[in-house]
């Protein structure tokens, strides 16, 4: 699941052990938190068949679920399945005969004859839900006047809410095959899991049967229904469906055009082909974020995009959810304490895909974004990535699980190297395919594949809270012809955060070249002597950002920033160095250097993420450079150039150029930035072009809205 689905949980997290006084108030601390383990099972769920009849007008449904189970042990007299309190149970049949049962919260306790281990039994439940009877388990899309396709419904199962529309075993420590029979209005479509077996129209109704013949966790069961457009494609013999509301059909290619490339990339890098019989991306009204339902991801309709918005702007969300088809669906965390095995991997794989499709700069920036997202949360609390102490399952979907987990996987990748790392992931996926998993199984696979005992790595990065906080300085010893480097770990260890053991590097920049030297961090203060022929232009600890770390104070000397800006290997450092250079009374030579480097940074996904520091200088002699940038391959760079031009006095040539950019073919962000700049210079004189902009179509009327604002 994408992190946007879990915004409601932002206040529910903290460390699970070694609590400081401040952390005692955390929901992760007793008494509000308690130990949670996977519930005990008395049977193996073999197959789940669901029959659902939808009454959309009444927002109600009637249903039957047939759970085929095999008892794990002989001699018991009861089995338990889950059913939400919004369901009305009409009857339960055991092997076709009426059974007695009692209801205890969301558990149905069904009386049985003496159980026989391995002997298949069926539990058939007849039920109804919806209307005004509490939780439906189904989200009904609310009708809107003037939008005939704004109807339908979707289901959402994670963490444990599929029980609200189908009685079954609703916890991820068991897997089952499944089949859904869904009856809806005849002009609707229904997308479910697996393959479409049949679509049968009777009168004004149509029944869709979807069948998944590979085991999966029940929270991944899903339905998405309504008046939908489905564009069909194939990838390596697998059906691919792009599903959107009918009025959004024109957005399919711009939103999903890179899906097959994602399927190929993940299959190739993991050595495990996409496992399911089809892949559907269902963009649904009123859904938030994304949910990796097996073979049928549900996505928010508002994320749909078009080429004028940027290069596959939906790719980050789509790549995250598709990665779950391996991590979360093919192998699924046994319990929510290990949810990082789903979410951290999906976030990390998303970063890998961004690097594949956009280059190294995009990967570096994505990892830095994850680190900063985690650090923001870590200022409020810290907890181990894996912990059984939490207030509720949803609480585990925080920035420790997602971005910290992804940054830890990046750290592990760099430690092991790509060959061993991906060999370990392949072994993990193939060994535990269609099984619930826990973190020790991942450790076992990585250790076996790499020959490196990974237990110590996981002990400090996954099973303990916190992260390394570094402070470093260096001096030049002319007599020794050596750089003397001191690196300190300053993190607070009173909450269980360790002093980290890290095989790091020190980068030395001299004469436009970067050299890397090993630097093993082992204690709270490590010293290194690096022999060199002359004083370096700059020095960086962890120049490639190989591991998760926080460096509160970058002790870069003013004399170092130009070299870091031009020659550092990570775009994050380069961007920060340029900002420092240009915000501290830059010389003409430094400004000229910035222009030269930025001009060469001409790719669609540039290393320098923002040229705003150059624009903030408000130098008229830079007008020509900013005008050049209006044709940069990056839409963001073009918009930034317009913002920089807007800070200069108006001139006729620039005004005419920006007016010409207000058209139906230019990137939307460029048009919007041009309207703002022209409005800042001369609202009345440019009113004609603002009125023209009112008629230029754009997604969610961004251009029209900005034009209206400019017209007052």
* pLDDT tens-place string over residues 430-469: 999 999 999 999 999 999 999 999 999 999 999 999 999 9
Count of positions (residues) in the chain? 712
pLDDT reported for residue 31: 87
* pLDDT tens-place string over residues 95-146: 999 999 999 999 999 999 999 999 999 999 999 999 865 566 899 999 999 9
Model pTM score: 0.96
pLDDT reported for residue 29: 75
Q: What is the DSSP string of 259-287?
A: HHHHHHHHHHHHT----SSEEEEEEETT-
Q: Is the pLDDT of residue 534 over 60?
A: yes
pLDDT reported for residue 584: 87
Q: Is the pLDDT of residue 580 over 90?
A: yes
* pLDDT tens-place string over residues 177-221: 999 999 999 999 999 999 999 999 999 999 999 999 999 999 999
pLDDT reported for residue 20: 44
pLDDT reported for residue 135: 65
**Residue 17 — very low, low, confident or very high, per pLDDT cuts 50/70/90?**
very low
pLDDT reported for residue 4: 39
Q: 191 to each of 142, 229, 242, 467, how far by Cα in Å?
A: 19, 11, 11, 43
Q: 389 to each of 3, 31, 147, 279, 468, how far by Cα in Å?
A: 21, 10, 46, 35, 23
Q: Are 383 and 28 in contact (CB under 8 A)?
A: yes
**Residue 337 — very low, low, confident or very high, per pLDDT cuts 50/70/90?**
very high
* pLDDT tens-place string over residues 487-511: 999 999 999 999 999 999 999 999 9
Mean pLDDT, rounded, for 481-488: 98
Cα–Cα dist 375/521, whole Å: 21
Cross-strand pairs, 290: 299
Q: What distance lies between CA 288 and its chain's CA centroid?
A: 13
Mean pLDDT, rounded, for 653-659: 98
Q: What is the DSSP string of 11-80?
A: TS---SSS--TGGGGSTTSTTT-EE--PPP-SEEEEEEEEEEEEETTTTEEEEEEEEEEEESSSS--EEE
Q: Is the pLDDT of residue 3 over 90?
A: no
* pLDDT tens-place string over residues 372-423: 999 999 998 999 999 999 999 999 999 999 999 999 999 999 999 999 999 9
pLDDT reported for residue 6: 38
Q: Are 698 and 671 in contact (CB under 8 A)?
A: yes
* pLDDT tens-place string over residues 675-709: 999 999 999 999 999 999 999 999 999 999 999 99
**Structure token digits, residue 18:** 């070694």
Residue 384: its H or E element: none
pLDDT reported for residue 25: 59
* pLDDT tens-place string over residues 41-92: 999 999 999 999 999 999 999 999 999 999 999 999 999 999 999 999 999 9
Q: Is the pLDDT of residue 13 over 60?
A: no
């Amino acid at each position: 699941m994408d992190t946007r689905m879990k915004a409601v949980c932002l206040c529910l997290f903290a460390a699970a052990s070694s609590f400081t006084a401040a952390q005692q108030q955390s929901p992760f601390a007793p008494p509000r938190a308690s130990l949670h383990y996977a519930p005990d099972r008395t049977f193996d769920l073999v197959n789940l068949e669901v029959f659902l009849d939808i009454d959309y007008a009444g927002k109600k449904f009637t249903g039957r679920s047939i759970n085929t189970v095999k008892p794990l042990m002989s001699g018991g007299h009861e089995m338990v399945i889950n059913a939400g309190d919004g369901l009305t149970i009409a009857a339960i049949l055991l092997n076709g005969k009426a059974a007695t049962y009692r209801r205890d919260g969301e558990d149905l306790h069904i009386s049985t004859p003496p159980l026989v281990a391995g002997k298949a039994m069926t539990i058939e439940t007849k039920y109804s839900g919806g209307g005004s009877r509490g939780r439906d388990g189904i989200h009904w899309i609310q009708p809107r006047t003037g939008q005939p396709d704004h109807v339908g419904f979707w289901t959402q199962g994670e963490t444990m809410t599929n029980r609200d529309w189908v009685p079954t075993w609703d916890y991820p420590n068991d897997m089952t095959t499944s089949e859904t029979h869904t009856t809806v209005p005849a002009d609707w479509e229904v997308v479910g899991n697996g393959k479409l077996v049949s679509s049968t129209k009777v009168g004004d109704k149509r029944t869709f049967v979807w069948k998944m013949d590979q085991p999966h966790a029940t929270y991944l069961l899903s339905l998405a229904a309504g008046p939908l457009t489905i564009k069909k494609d194939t990838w390596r013999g697998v059906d691919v469906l792009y599903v959107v509301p009918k009025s959004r059909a024109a957005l399919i290619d711009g939103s999903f055009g890179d899906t097959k490339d994602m399927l190929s990339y993940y299959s190739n890098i993991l050595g495990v082909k996409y496992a399911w019989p089809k892949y559907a991306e269902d963009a649904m009204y009123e859904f938030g974020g994304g949910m990796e339902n097996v073979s049928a991801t549900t996505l928010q309709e508002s994320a749909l995009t078009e080429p004028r918005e940027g290069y596959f702007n939906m790719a980050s969300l789509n790549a995250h959810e598709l990665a779950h088809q391996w991590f979360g669906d093919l192998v699924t965390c046994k319990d929510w304490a290990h949810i990082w095995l789903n979410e951290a991997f999906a976030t990390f794989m998303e970063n890998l895909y961004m690097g594949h499709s956009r280059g190294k700069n995009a990967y570096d920036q994505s990892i830095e974004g994850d680190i900063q997202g985690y650090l923001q949360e870590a200022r409020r609390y810290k907890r181990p990535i894996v912990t059984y102490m939490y207030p509720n399952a949803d609480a585990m979907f925080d920035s420790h699980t997602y971005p910290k987990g992804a940054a830890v996987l990046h750290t592990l990748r760099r430690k092991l190297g790509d060959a061993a790392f991906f060999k370990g992931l392949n072994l993990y996926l193939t060994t535990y395919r269609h099984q619930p998993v826990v973190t020790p199984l991942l450790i076992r696979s990585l250790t076996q594949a790499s020959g490196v005992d990974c237990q110590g790595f996981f002990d400090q990065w996954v099973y303990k809270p916190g992260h390394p906080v570094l402070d470093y300085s260096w001096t030049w010893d002319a007599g020794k012809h050596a750089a003397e480097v001191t690196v300190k770990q300053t993190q607070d260890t009173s909450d269980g955060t360790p002093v980290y053991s890290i095989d790091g590097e020190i980068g030395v920049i001299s004469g436009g070249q970067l050299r890397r030297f090993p630097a093993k961090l082992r204690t709270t203060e490590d010293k290194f002597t690096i022999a060199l022929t002359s004083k370096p232009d700059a020095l960086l600890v962890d120049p490639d950002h190989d591991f998760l770390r926080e460096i509160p104070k970058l002790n870069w000397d003013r004399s170092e920033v130009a070299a870091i800006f031009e020659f550092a290997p990570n775009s994050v450092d380069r961007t920060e160095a340029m900002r420092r250079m240009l915000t501290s009374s830059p010389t003409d030579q430094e400004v000229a250097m910035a222009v030269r480097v930025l001009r060469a940074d001409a790719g669609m996904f540039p290393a320098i993420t923002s040229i705003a520091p150059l624009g903030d200088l408000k130098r008229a002699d830079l007008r020509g450079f900013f005008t050049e940038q209006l044709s940069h391959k990056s839409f963001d760079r073009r918009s930034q150039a317009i913002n920089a031009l807007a800070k200069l006095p108006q001139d006729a040539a620039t005004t005419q150029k920006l007016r010409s950019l207000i058209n139906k073919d230019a990137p939307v962000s460029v048009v919007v930035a041009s309207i703002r700049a022209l409005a800042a210079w001369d609202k009345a004189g440019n009113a004609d072009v603002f009125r023209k902009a009112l008629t230029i179509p754009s997604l969610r009327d961004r251009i029209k809205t900005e034009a209206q604002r400019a017209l007052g």
